Structure 1
Amino acid sequence: MSEYFNDVYLSKRHQSIDPIIINSLNRVSPLVWDENLMINSQWTINKIFNAVKPFYNIVSGQTFVLHDQNNNLALLSLYVNKFLMADVNREITRDRNDIQGLLIDTHEMMLHLYYNENEQARSNVSILSSRENEILYWSSTGKTYPEIAHMLNITVSTVKFHMGKIVKKMGVNNAKHAISLAIELNIISHPVRK
């Protein structure tokens, strides 16, 4: 299932047309669905279900919905294999409140981890030097390393050196990740010209 999710679902942006997600946006109670789930009682989008049906025999399921205080949508979907439909549906229905509680608890833990990760990144970023801030700023505007080097009257290898320090301080994998995280955290400031 993870191969489908990574290789097909995300790459083709199926989340934008997924009837489960679209229906969940407008509800707070769990959603029972099958391959004929309609969007706005008008359209069915079978290609999402048809893509996984031959491999996993998924024909129905239940999705638990959570809208949080930040207007995020969190979903917990339990897929039902056609060979286990009656038993699994009965158990899901019986344990419905516990499953909803599990979604709430898991989402709270994820928000806590995300918050702590961002706080850690913020505290690490506060120790960026003025040169590192300058390089991060110009990189975030789309400037290339040679362009930044020319603007700051330094070598390209010096720009790369500082970007490496930024990546390390922010605890990310690469420059693109550092730039996107810095933008998300709103920590990039326009360099002061001397």
Structure 2
Amino acid sequence: MTDDPIAEMLLRCAAQDRAAFRAIYSATSSKLFGLLIRILGDRAEAEDALQEVFTRVWLKAARYDGARGTGMAWLVALARNHAIDRLRARPQTTAEMPEDIADDRMRPETRLIATGELARMSTCFDQLEPDRASAVRGAYLQGLSYTDLAARFDVPLNTMRTWLRRSLLSLRDCLNQ
């Protein structure tokens, strides 16, 4: 018998020893369940995850390598990785309840201000040379890279950087008037 009884039971479990599997479950399930609850934050989901973890223990016990750590460490890693996989598989929601959803409609005064700002911005863009205005729109509204813009306008990369910098300064000056 080794100093690690869990490792010994895992080796027996790898040989399909059902008594060893029951013993592993009895010895470790409460600790693993606590870990799963902490990670997942939901008791019912932790119960399901624990069942899946022990299914994996039964199927993958032969993969345990005592030279890489204790039996309990292997079980904890198995449970932790499974819980993280479950977290990643959860759908990403930003709002749980309908009342948590922000009203995205603009209020009338906000709409008037935005319309005025849009008109000012349009006037300022009209003061730029057409290719410079198009480059700024491409970079900041379409997300094109400097390299893409330089190729599109057939200019060197540093020239494109200069165009964008000078155009942004002109827009800033125009908007600050």
Higher CA-based Rg: 2
The answer, yes or no, to whether TM exceeds 0.5 is no
Which of the pair is proportionally richer in strand? Answer: 1
Greater helix percent: which structure?
2
Query: Which structure carries more relative contact order (alpha carbon 8 Å, separation 6+)?
Result: 2
TM-score (norm 2): 0.35
